[in-house]
Amino acid sequence: MPELPDVEVFKRYLDATGLHKTISTVQAPESRVLKGVTEKRLKTVLKGTELSSTKRHGKHLLVSIKNADHLLALHFGMTGFLKYYKDPDDDPGHVRLRLDFDNGYHLAFDCQRMLGAVKLITDEDSFLKDKGLGPDALDERLDFDTFKDRITGKKGAVKSTLMNQKFIAGIGNVYSDEILFQARIDPNRKVDTLSEDELKTVFQKIRTVLETAINHQADPSKFPKTYITGHRKSGEPCPGCKGTVKKETIGGRSSYYCPSCQQ
DNA sequence: CCTATAGCCTGACGGC
DNA sequence: TGCCGTCAGGCTATAG
């Protein structure tokens, strides 16, 4: 599930709930989501201190820890989310990391399919470098010239390029479809066949689509009627023309687009 | 270096 | 009802 807009919503949620509260207990019962760290180590680093700030890069959420020389790095995989609550009966069903604060509240990282990850990292720059992540899709410094430079030499379907985290970080299956729908470009198009104008359109739509999604809490049911995300089903009416939405596997992922609007 | 594919995980859903 | 195959908005390892 979580792509850049979802993770941005999680970030704001954590900012509004889990910062500046003393952590009294730490639980991380599922070692399969702990990458390069143990429950014991997490307890050592987190107990008695506070989360102090957050930063998002692509689909990764990096959480600073007060007076610690490490950051907590969360990745949500396909099914991850955060929940802040008081009553333990409200525990979500697949808690992989739980922080208990001294105000009686809990912050849970829930990840049903365990494709997510919990790490401790020393600093943001080396983390991004190790992962080979491209610039965040909403980074102000990402201008069209940089975008164009990074895309030069790439082959394959434009949709796959948009989803490549080493190219630009944050875009996944759903939002690559939405960006290309708004740009009216067929997701199958080879990226090296796009004209300058088409590249410009894609570049602009990356920003507007992701920002629009964030402004609607990444909830597709609140998206504009002109968006295709709420119509991810074969045969659904296209929000842009009289045609119907087509489902097709592109780059191994289920893709939805309108063959009539997107040429 | 690049791209394309299989596989990792669990659970929900639809067809038989 | 129960079983089974398919699929799901992630990434990574491997082959070509």
Q: Which DSSP string corresponds to A44-96?
A: HHHTT--EEEEEEETTEEEEEETT-S-EEEEE-TTTEEEEEES-GGG--TTEE
* Nucleotide closest to A80 measured between CA and C1': C10
Confidence of residue A141 (pLDDT cuts 50, 70, 90): very high
Stated in angstroms, how far is A232 CA from B16 C1'?
Answer: 26
Q: Quick one: pLDDT at residue A161? A: 96
Residue at minimum CA to C1' distance from nucleotide B4: A251
**Which nucleotide C1' is nearest A220 CA?**
C9
Task: Give the nearest nucleotide to A157, CA to C1'.
Answer: B3
**Which positions in strand C are less than 7 Å from the protein's CB atoms?**
7-12
| Arithmetic mean of pLDDT, A99-123 | 96
Protein residue closest to B5, using CA and C1': A252
pLDDT at position A81 is 96
Does position A80 have pLDDT exceeding 90, yes or no?
yes
Q: How confident is the model at residue A233 (pLDDT cuts 50, 70, 90)?
A: confident
- Residue A235's pLDDT band, with cuts at 50, 70 and 90, is confident
* CA distance linking residue A23 with residue A66, whole number of Å: 11
Torsion angles phi and psi, residue A239, rounded to 5: -75, -5
The position carrying tokens 């990402």 is: A142
Q: Is the CB of A222 under 7 A from strand B?
A: no
